[in-house]
Amino acid sequence: MTYCLSDLFCFYEAFLYCFIFARKLRTSVNISPMGYFAMGRMDMMMKFLLNRSCLVCGSSFLAPQWHHSTAVVHRDMLITCMATKDNKLLKEKKLHLLGTSSDVMHYLKMTKPDQVYDKLIECKVTQSYPEVEVLHLLANFFSIGGHVKGLEAVKSICQIKCLKEFKRSSNFAHYTAQLFWQKGNFKKAMDEFTNVTKRLPSLRPEVSKMIRNLIKTSVPIISRASVKVIYDSSLQYSVQNDDYSVLGAFWLSLFTSHWHEDQQTSVQLLLTHKGLQEHIEMQIPQISKTFLTRHNIADYQRLLECVLQCNMENSSAHLLRALFDYYYKVGYVKGCIAVVKCCDAIDVKLAMDQLYKYNTLIGATRAKSNPVLSMVKQLDIKYKF
C-alpha cells in the first residue's frame, strides 16, 4: 500500500489531535505509534490511534482501509470527539463560579460584575456554594469593581459555608476597605485597613499588598487634594505598622508621575523620612532595572539626581555602574565617558571589568569628544524638564 504526501500530513495531524485529546483527559498515548510511523506502517499507526481514541471517546469504530479520504474523515472525527468531550467536561466541572480558582479567574476576566452577581445569587438559591478560595477571588473582584451588592452576597455565602474562614479573614473587612477606596473615600478606606491589621496582624502582608496596588493605580489620576489625603494616611499606616512599603509605593507613584509638582514632592518626601529612605535604598536595584529595561533614561537620571541629593552613596554607586553597563551594551561611547567623569566627580569607583571595557572602548574608537552630562554638575543638579 502506497501513500502520497497529503496522506502523511493527514496521518500526522490525526496523531497530534489524538495526543492532545489524550492529554486533555489525563490519559497516556503509547509510544508504539511512532514506531509504526518509522517503519512506514501508516495503516497500523492509524489503527492504533483510532482504537485508542475510540476507547476514550466511547465509540467502536475501525476503518478497514486507509487512504487520503479516510484519513481526513478520521482526523475530523477526532476533532469532533475532542469538542464534544470538552463540552462534557465543562458541564461536569461546573465552571464559572463552582470550578477551580483558575477557572473562575478566567471566567471573571470575561464577565461583567452584574452577570457574576446573578450567577452568585443562583448558587446561593441552589445552595451550591463556591470554594473558599473562590470566595476570596469574588470578594476582591467585586470590591475592585465597586459592586456593593456583590461583596455583601459573597460575605453572606462565606458566613454560611465557612464561618471560621470568615472570622479569620476579619469578616472580609479589607475587601470592604478596598471598596471604599474605589468609591473615592480614601480616608475611610485607610482607617479600615488600619483596623484590620490591628485586629488580625496575620493579614498585614495581604493588606499592605492591596494598598500598594490601589496606590499604584489611583495616584496618577486623582486630584492633588486626594493625593494629600493618601499621603497622610500612608505615612500614618507605615509608621504605625513599621512597614514603609506602602509609603514607598506612594513615593514611586509620585516620582514616575508626569507632573513636575509630584516629582518634586517625591524628592522632598525622600529627604524628610529616614525610614522611607532606607526602604527605597533596598528597592533601588529593582527600580533602576525596570527603567533601563524600558530604556527610560530620563527617569533614570532623575533617580540618580535624587539619591545624590539624599546622600545615598551606595545607591548612587549602583546606579552609575548599571548605567555604564547599559551605555556599553548599546554602544553609546559618549554616555560611557560621561558616566566615568561623573564617577570621578563624586569619588565612585567602577568595577575592574568596567574599567577594562572603558579603556578598550576608548582605544578602539579614539574618542576625542569631551561630553558632560548635566548630572556631572553635582549639588546643583536640576533635571531639565
Q: Is residue 186 part of a domain?
A: no
Domain residues for the domain of 25 are 5-93
* Contact indicator for 97, 135 with CB cutoff of 8 Å: no
Q: What is the per-residue pLDDT for 100?
A: 84
Mean pLDDT of 212-223: 90
Q: Indicate the burial class of 64 (C-beta count within 10 angstroms; 0-12, 13-18, 19 or more).
A: exposed
Q: For the residues 262-275, what does the mean pLDDT come to?
A: 92
Q: Report the distance separating Cα 96 and Cα 118, nearest Å.
A: 12
C-alpha 208/C-alpha 189 separation (Å) is 13
Q: 104 and 111 in contact (C-beta within 8 Å)?
A: no
Domain count, the chain: 2
Q: How far is CA 134 from the centre of its chain?
A: 19
- CA 313, CA 78: separation in Å to the nearest integer? 66
Pick the residue with more confidence: 11 or 29? 11
- Tell me the pLDDT of the chain averaged across its residues: 77
Last residue of a domain, one of 75, 93, 111: 93
Query: Does the pLDDT of residue 53 top 50, yes or no?
Result: no
Where among 37, 61, 93 does a domain terminate?
93
E runs forming strands in 203-318: none
Sorting pLDDT into bands at 50, 70 and 90, what band is 99? confident
**Structural domain includes residue 184:** no
In a domain, 136, yes or no: no
Domain for residue 246, yes or no? no
Percent share of the chain, pLDDT over 70: 70
User: Torsion-angle region of residue 366: left (phi > 0), alpha (psi -120 to 50) or beta?
Assistant: left
Mean pLDDT of 320-338: 92
- With cut-offs at 50, 70 and 90, classify the pLDDT of residue 278: very high
Reduce the DSSP state of residue 384 to 3 states and report it.
Answer: coil
Distance CA 97, CA 269 (A): 44
Distance CA 336, CA 356 (A): 12
Quickly state the pLDDT bin for 51 (edges 50, 70, 90): low
- For residue 318, tell me if it sits in a domain: yes
Q: For residues 65 and 343, give the distance between their C-alpha atoms in angstroms, rounded to a whole number.
A: 79
Is residue 163 situated within a structural domain? no
Last residue of a domain, one of 60, 93, 126: 93
pLDDT for 88 equals: 45
Is 32:94 a contact under the CB 8 Å cutoff?
no
- DSSP per-residue letters across 60-129: ----S--SHHHHHHHHHHHHHHHHHHHHHHHHHHTTTTSS-HHHHHHHHHTS-HHHHHHHHHHHHHHT-P
Pick the residue with more confidence: 325 or 366? 325
Is the pLDDT reported for residue 173 higher than 60? yes
Residue 255 falls within a domain, yes or no? no
- Cα(231)–Cα(174) distance, integer angstroms: 19
Residue 154 belongs to a domain: no
Predicted confidence at residue 149, as pLDDT, reads: 94
Q: What is the dihedral of CA 293, 299, 305, 308, to 10 degrees?
A: -40
122-130 CB contacts, 8 Å cutoff, 24+ apart: 123/97, 123/98, 123/157, 124/153, 124/156, 124/157, 128/94, 128/98, 129/157, 129/160, 129/161, 130/97, 130/98, 130/104, 130/157
Mean of pLDDT values over 147-165: 89
Q: What is the pLDDT of residues 112-140, one digit of tens each?
A: 999 999 999 988 888 888 888 999 999 99
